[in-house]
Amino acid sequence: ETGVTQSPTHLIKTRGQQVTLRCSSQSGHNTVSWYQQALGQGPQFIFQYYREEENGRGNFPPRFSGLQFPNYSSELNVNALELDDSALYLCASSLLRQGGNGNYGYTFGSGTRLTVV
Amino acid sequence: GQQLNQSPQSMFIQEGEDVSMNCTSSSIFNTWLWYKQDPGEGPVLLIALYKAGELTSNGRLTAQFGITRKDSFLNISASIPSDVGIYFCAGQPSYNFNKFYFGSGTKLNVKP
């Protein structure tokens, strides 16, 4: 088991810029989800990808977008960065249950700490 | 939107004591997960629960999926200093299988 890996670990961007965060899923997992965790809060769901398509989205604007690749790695892209986008961004991979009615427990990466100045 | 109420917000206990924390929701959930997060790290899965009434242990940790499917608790027995951290519950509602909602966390402090 290789676990979930994310890159970079830390990033500083200027307001208005664009950023791409990367994630490699745990071996054998077929879904990738992204979460935003502000300081002192629980993670907030951004979106989930399965078979390279978005199949669930939280309350985030369209400037948050993603990609999932055939090898189940994933990207999170954020355009027009705002100061409030500063947070820890977490990637989680999981195995979608047979019948598609739920995921077996998420495995999280260590996250990317994004600071927007 | 869906909210998970996690309590207590923080706890200060003596090494060796038992700990209990819980989460409640307004909706029926089909999965409950419990995580521990250390500073600067991602959450680490402790216990996963998939059936109402399920009681599962992982070493000194025990968690249960409430029979109403709207709550779950996590117990830690005989706490040790390395139990320090933030514990999160996460639930997957029955009406949306593609996302998890997280509680706001319980910060555990253990005095040696």
Distance CA B86, CA A30 (A): 28
Tell me the pLDDT of chain A averaged across its residues.
91
Whether B79 contacts B112, CB under 8 Å: no
- B interface with A, Cβ–Cβ < 8 A, is 1, 4, 6, 30-31, 33, 35, 40-45, 48, 50, 88, 90, 92, 96-105
The reported pLDDT for the residue numbered B57 is 97
Mutate to test the interface with A, among B21, B99, B102, B107 (most CBs of A within 10 A): B99
The b-or-e profile of A75-111 (16+ CB within 10 A means b, else e) is bbebeebeeebbbbbbbbbbbbeeeeebbebbbbbbb
- pLDDT: which is higher, B89 or A104: B89
Report which DSSP code applies to B83. G
CB contact under 8 A, A108 and B44: yes
CB contact under 8 A, A106 and B100: yes
The reported pLDDT for the residue numbered A101 is 61
The reported pLDDT for the residue numbered A58 is 92
CA nearest to A54 within chain B: B98
The reported pLDDT for the residue numbered A105 is 67
Mean pLDDT of A46-71: 93
* Chains A & B: contacts with CB separation below 8 Å: 69
Residue A18, min C-alpha distance to chain B (Å): 23
Distance CA A84, CA A2 (A): 32
- In 3D, which of B38, B19, B36, B21 has the Cα closest to residue B78? B19
CA nearest to B45 within chain A: A107
- pLDDT tens sequence across B36-71: 999 888 999 999 999 999 999 999 999 999 999 999
The reported pLDDT for the residue numbered A95 is 87
The reported pLDDT for the residue numbered B96 is 76
CB contact under 8 A, B102 and A107: no
The reported pLDDT for the residue numbered A1 is 53
CA nearest to A109 within chain B: B42
A111 contacts on B by Cβ (under 8 Å) = 41-42
